[in-house]
Amino acid sequence: MDPRFPEKSFMINWLKALLLSPGILFPAVYLLLYLSISISLNADFKKNLCRSFKSATGNTWQISIQSLKAGPALDSVTLDHIEIIKSPTERDKEKSAGRTVTIKNIEIPCPDLQKLLYSSTDRSAATDALCEKILAEEQLVQ
């Protein structure tokens, strides 16, 4: 055996210890939590937000969101490229096809973002709060 190279079992044990150390384990768990929240936001939460926005405006407005991103500290949500479309009423159909408001991005504080994955009541409360903030932002843009 060559004295310059350590034994194979020593290297395998050293790599196992490195991967299970707190310096690697904690960032890996945080990254897993962050990615699962981001995937959940872009799939299910975005659909619920669109549905909640439509019901909050009495089915007269529709919303289209390109993407939702969680903040790095899981304390905010950034909504990118929001289009708010007013459905034309019967008397507006003769005049125009409707009205569209575009908002480039909004960052909304959401302190308990990690709880959205586990609690449906927190999820519905968060969608209602986001709808109110989007409506307030839409009023500022007009």
Span 90-101, average pLDDT: 62
Whole-number Å distance between alpha carbons of 108 and 134: 9
Task: Give the start-to-end residue ranges of the domains of the chain.
Answer: 8-141
CA 125-127-128 angle, to 5 degrees, is 65
Whole-angstrom Cα distance, residue 120 to residue 47? 14
Q: Which residue has the higher pLDDT, 11 or 114?
A: 11
Three-state SS for 36? helix
CA 51-121-86 angle, to 5 degrees, is: 20
Which pLDDT score is estimated for 87? 72
Residue 108, strand partner residues: 77
The DSSP call for residue 115 is G
Strands 99-109 and 61-70, sheet pairing = unpaired
Q: What is the pLDDT of residue 26?
A: 92
Q: Write out pLDDT tens, residues 106-138.
A: 888 887 777 777 777 888 888 888 888 888 877
Q: 58-67, pLDDT tens digit by residue?
A: 888 888 888 8
| Residue 39, amino acid | I
